[in-house]
Amino acid sequence: MQVIQTVRELQQLADAERAAGLRVALVPTMGALHAGHLSLVHAARRRADRVWVSIFVNPAQFNDPNDLAKYPRGMERDLEACREANVDAVFAPAPAEMYPADAQTGVDVTELTRPLCGSDRPGHFRGVTTIVSKLFLAAKPHVAVFGEKDFQQLAVIRRMVRDLGFDVEIVGAPIEREPDGLALSSRNLNLDPEARRQALVLVHALDACKLAVTAGERRTAALLHLARHEIAKATRARIDYVELRDPETLAPAPERLASPALLALAVCFDPAESGQGATVRLIDNRVLEVHPGDGKVEPKEID
């Protein structure tokens, strides 16, 4: 497995692989690799001859310096995980390699970045689209794989690729979960045992809404109330957002669902004691499928 640290070296390798007629897949990550990341590697392997992983904690997408400082890191462990997954090359640049001191250029997707995670994280998605553009220009991949847990990010990248004409196929891979249902995330490492237990309210909220839709519930307000009701069972949870959105445009869902809707959650878990430990923000989502004939009676309102 090659470990590459400069853009020029990666571009040269990309040119050689393409000249040899080989199909290259890129899996962009910020490290702290877990089984969810490795599922992206496996999805990439099914679609390409060469699989490359980038490991770069992108400072441009953190609007909170404390969040950047506490983001989990472990390069040696990540490299070993990549070797075990038969990754062909890892791109692990230094920040100065990706962001020259006098850099003046960024990439913006204007509308899809406004709601959900974009509403209270100014500059976050500009950081994401800028670094992904740089990675595409460095790696020249035929295909790039992203996880559906970051649903808005995936939608934004797809729009960027379409709008700018990048010659790369974007693949979304399903969410990988722990045995108890919690979505795999590098941030899970920052949860203390009690917060880890309480974090299950996210998947409980998703499950409750899925069951309600299957039973016939179509009222957006009732579904959002149900999700909030489940999350409120966790004493250390603070809701950032609970929203129903169109899966393609991310526009707000109508008052009554007539087609599939994205239920998107972002919840912060505070430390056990003020000033002790850090708040951990987790996201999760599910597309609620709406089919004619699902259920006959709408559930009663929740008290």
Angle at 228 between CA 280 and CA 189, to 5 degrees: 20
Q: Tell me the per-residue pLDDT of 110-131, one tens digit each, with 9 for 90 and over.
A: 999 999 999 988 999 999 999 9
Tokens representing 194 are 């009690």
pTM summary value: 0.92
Amino acid 300: pLDDT? 52
Q: Report yes or no: 85 and 77 within 8 Å, Cβ to Cβ.
A: no
CA distance 300 to 222: 9
Helix (H, G, I), strand (E, B) or coil at 260: coil
pLDDT digit string (tens) for 51-81?
Answer: 999 999 999 999 888 889 988 999 999 999 9
The model's pLDDT over 180-239, given as tens digits with 9 standing for 90+, comes to 999 999 999 999 999 999 999 999 999 999 999 999 999 999 999 999 999 999 999 999
What is the rounded average pLDDT for all residues in the chain? 94
Residue in this structure with the two tokens 């599910």, named with its chain if needed: 286
Kindly write down the DSSP assignment for every residue of 145-214, as one continuous string.
Answer: EEETTSHHHHHHHHHHHHHHT-S-EEEEEPPPB-TTSPBP-GGGGG--HHHHHHTTHHHHHHHHHHHHHH
pLDDT at 67: 87
Q: What is the pLDDT of residues 129-146, one digit of tens each?
A: 999 999 999 999 999 999
Question: Percent helix, strand and coil across the chain, each rounded to 5?
Answer: 40, 20, 40
281 has a pLDDT exceeding 90? yes
Q: With 50 as the cut, is the pLDDT of residue 297 above it?
A: no
Query: Could you tell me where the beta strands, DSSP code E, fall in the chain?
Result: 2-4, 24-29, 50-55, 89-91, 143-147, 169-173, 237-245, 261-269, 280-288
Q: Of 34, 37, 124, 142, which one is the catalytic site residue?
A: 37
| Closest CA relative to residue 242, chosen from 64, 157, 115 | 115
Can you tell me the mean pLDDT for 272-288?
86
**Helix H or strand E segment including 130:** helix 124-139
> Do residues 74 and 208 make contact, with C-beta atoms less than 8 angstroms apart?
no
Instruction: Tell the residue number behind the tokens 């919840």, with chain if given.
Output: 267
Q: Which residue shows structure tokens 């679609």?
A: 47
Helix, strand or coil for residue 262? strand
* Residue 278 binned pLDDT confidence (cut-offs 50, 70, 90): confident
Domains of the chain: 2-173 (3.40.50.620), 186-288 (3.30.1300.10)
Question: Among this protein's residues, is 204 annotated catalytic?
Answer: no
Task: Please state, in angstroms and rounded to a whole number, the distance separating the CA atoms of residues 179 and 270.
Answer: 24
